[in-house]
Structure 1
Amino acid sequence: MPTTAAFPAAVLLLLCAAAASASASAAFIDGLLPNGDFELGPKASDMRGTVVVGRYAVPKWEISGFVEYIKSGQKQGDMLLVVPGGAFAVRLGNEASIKQRLPVARGMYYSLTFSAARTCAQEEKLNVSVAPDWGVLPMQTLYSSNGWDSYAWAFRADRDVAEIVIHNPGVEEDPACGPLIDSVAIRALYPPKASNRNLLKNGDFEEGPYVFPNTTWGVLIPPNIEDDHSPLPGWMVESLKAVKYIDSGHFSVPEGKRAVELVAGKESAIAQVARTIPGKTYVLSFAVGDASNSCEGSMVVEAFAGKDTVKVPYESKGKGGYKRAVLRFKAVSVRTRIMFYSTFYTMRSDDFSSLCGPVLDDVKLLSVRNP
């Protein structure tokens, strides 16, 4: 029977634990940031035409530089400005940025997902940062025919509050020639570990960035992304072009709910380094298919395990389906690099302007007894 004096201490301990739990749960926000779709706009008094005046004029955001508030269907000369979700977006002109502070759990990994569209500048890019991490996302290549792409970028929270900044570092003659930004979201990442069932991490691609439920174009994992801060935990994008992260809600996926589409031929590659034992035999198995997105034709996925390789042909009708493949190899070092890319460039048959490619999923690496 606890003493009367013990009760206050026990209650205090429970209250502290509950408060810590509530604080941690408050930090894990999966979905749109506050006013992440920019549907809450500035007051009329804070607008000069389309230009926003005032650092805090856009609710929940802090802005700097030449920022415009754009309505879907608005025209710039002969160009029609399209907004991917809702009715409004912001445009970042020369050296302009938007910023928001968000509570996070220190030490956790997070992925940002946002939609962006190039307007009239040709060499547009975006600098995304959460101090001390930052990255430059190129926007020269358009992967979807609707004019918009969604991008993912990841960071590790070093503080309890993340200062999220999206910045246009471009300097154009026309300050309005900057990218449109819409639908900024976040997702907490829980990087999986290798196990005796799979020596690769996240081989099923189930752990990855937030995918907007009302979009049909997937999420791009940008090029030159290292695995330390990858929005696709465990994997690196070792190529000049992005890979596309797709979900079963909008695409055909061989296994589970998520997969990767290799959308830019040999310029769109993903890799992972696995721990291996020299002289031991391993089997790399994976699924190759199409996303049921009118990506038709002869496709080939090339898989590499160290110096060993296999080419897996897949004849796509663009209506879904997949086949399984195996690469058996003997390890020659304590680290073996596993890599995949698509041999050919493919365009969707329904619009002839959207890059597409074979789907990769259910990647497993297991050791086997030597014969």
Structure 2
Amino acid sequence: MTGSGLILIDKPDGMTSHDVVARVRRAAGTRKVGHAGTLDPMATGLLIVGVNSSTRLLTFIVGADKEYLATIRLGAASTTDDAEGELLEAASPAALAAITAEDIAAGISRLTGEIEQVPSSVSAIKVDGKRAYARVRAGETVELKPRAVTVSEFELLGTRRSETAIDLDVRVVCSSGTYIRSLARDLGAGLGGGSGLGGPGVGEGLHGPGVGGHLTALRRTRVGAFSVHDAHDLATLDAQAALIPAVDAASRLFERLDLTEQQAIDLTHGRRIHIADREGPGGEPVAAVAPSGALVGLIEFRGKEARTLVNFPTEEAVAPTDGTA
């Protein structure tokens, strides 16, 4: 059976994140598999999967910043803010032709930084205990509240024009909880027919001002410290070979503390440890590693004392890949 660790998957188009988890369960020979951060079926790219006790790491990965490559089509909004939905009224060729490169740059600028964003009504956000997309499919009208997100980079990589659409290839680096579909919607709403951006009209309706916009392609290229360049093809997955051992994964995510034998024993038994030369504030998890190279757990410092946040069972330990033992 596969040990404990993370597997980076390059999710193909057309599969749900749940489909990926099911495939990894079969490949790894365990039911204890989860993922960090859902990708829509139309999206491709990095999906981080936790195996066995390393599912405990996923909580800390979900909140990491993310990078995407996407294509935004200006010229029509859709019922889902992406290409899988029903297209709404199309903009006229004249309206599209009137949009300049400077207009697009200004629209992107207004959606960069700390912004208030209304998530798509077909998102996985829960409304009174039920997913928003499930309520929409049941015929309900769902209105989600704006929430603060950070778009640290919104870069235009290329522009392709036709009479009926303007396709924008973009790169986005953003905080957890940012919807790229919503950026596409709001960019289209703010071009060619009204401000639409940053004002009360944002997200009020799919028939908002402007020429309309929706997402036609999305690829997640990075989550925190992990890149899609290191991800594996699901069709040829060797779960054991692809596994990033828990100690290596945690050491990439957090500061690493190498323990003495006694410190490892104390933490394993739920006791606090004291580090005399520890300096600086606590608050961030620290990966605590035994002399054997196994991940004992994640700990949190308060001054010079540390307590366990998450323990890892020693029987699932996999030898680290950096040659330590």
Please state which structure has a larger fraction of its residues in strand: 1
TM-score by length of 2: 0.22
Q: Name which structure has the greater RCO, CA cutoff 8 Å, separation 6+.
A: 2
Please state which structure has a larger fraction of its residues in helix: 2
TM-score by length of 1: 0.20
